[in-house]
Amino acid sequence: MPLVAPSLLAADFLHLADACKMVNESEADWFHLDVMDGNFVPNISYGQPVIEFINKAATKTLDVHLMVQQPERYAEDFKKAGADVLSVHYEACTHLHRNVQQIKSLGMKAGVALNPHTPVDLLEDIIGDLDLVLIMSVNPGFGGQKFIERSLEKISTLRRMIDDAKLSTLIEVDGGVTIENAPALVQAGVDVLVAGSTVFRAEDPFAAIKALKAAK
Ligand SMILES: O=C(CO)[C@@H](O)[C@H](O)COP(=O)(O)O
Ligand SMILES: [Fe+2]
């Protein structure tokens, strides 16, 4: 059964408390929180102060996806804000190994996110240090985009890499995840399904989360 992480980017920002309550009461496992800096990606979302408030309302793991250049500048702030899992982008880090060690030394799980054009092979020398790899199945920056089909092959390659090395690194997929494509993603080896529009644009978000959990 996959873990399901609703992305609050698709929630109504005027009623974040309601969104948190819904996720708390649902079968979802994590809160997925997208931080965008308007530089690494062409959009600005929200940052530490908002996450600090979400942390007060949320009763589940906070999975923070940093779409930020030089994320090492903010790792400590996000720890203080309540992040449990902190993912940085491969493409935004000059010293990725140092950044991963920083996240772990602060007591968070460390993830690395890959843009659609970045091959999973580039993680060969760092995969053993990672708690999670986040495969972007859309170009980061916006919710509601169409799933890039090629991501399925990347996930299968990564699954093999992790299993061959006997690691327990989680594979998370993010972008364009739907109730329809979730089974193929789980079959390809995904552990964590992120879903924004599929959950928050659904008539019944609880049912959407339930359907994603049931993907096999
Ligand atoms: O990181 C991102 C976008 O950059 C995502 O987490 C989106 O928030 C997913 O939204 P949907 O594609 O599920 O609507
Ligand atoms: Fe995300």
| Predicted confidence (pLDDT) per residue in 127-183, tens digit | 999 999 999 999 999 999 999 999 999 999 999 999 999 999 999 999 999 999 999
If you average pLDDT over residues 63-77, what whole number do you get? 98
Instruction: Indicate which residue of 29, 34, 37, 63 is catalytic.
Output: 34
The pLDDT score that the predictor gives to residue 115 is 98
Our answer on whether the CB atom of 115 is closer than 6 Å to any ligand 1 atom is no
Which CATH superfamily hosts domain 3-213?
Aldolase class I (3.20.20.70)
- Known catalytic residue at 34: yes
Enter the pTM of the model: 0.98
Q: Is 194 in the pocket of ligand 1 (CB under 6 A)?
A: yes
Residue to mutate (ligand 1; options 39, 174, 197, 200; most atoms within 8 A of CB): 174
ipTM: 0.99
User: Whose atoms come closest to the Cα of 63: which ligand?
Assistant: 2
**Alpha carbon separation from 9 to 31, 34, 36, 138, 195 (Å, rounded):** 10, 6, 10, 15, 10
What does the pLDDT average to over 186-214?
98
Distances (CA, A) of 197 to 7, 106, 178, 180: 8, 32, 8, 13
Sequence-distant contacts of 71-78: CB under 8 A, at least 24 apart: 71/99, 72/98, 72/99, 72/102, 74/47, 74/48, 75/99, 75/102, 75/103, 75/106, 75/108, 76/106, 77/48, 78/35, 78/48, 78/51, 78/108
Structural domain boundaries in the chain: 3-213
164 in catalytic set? no
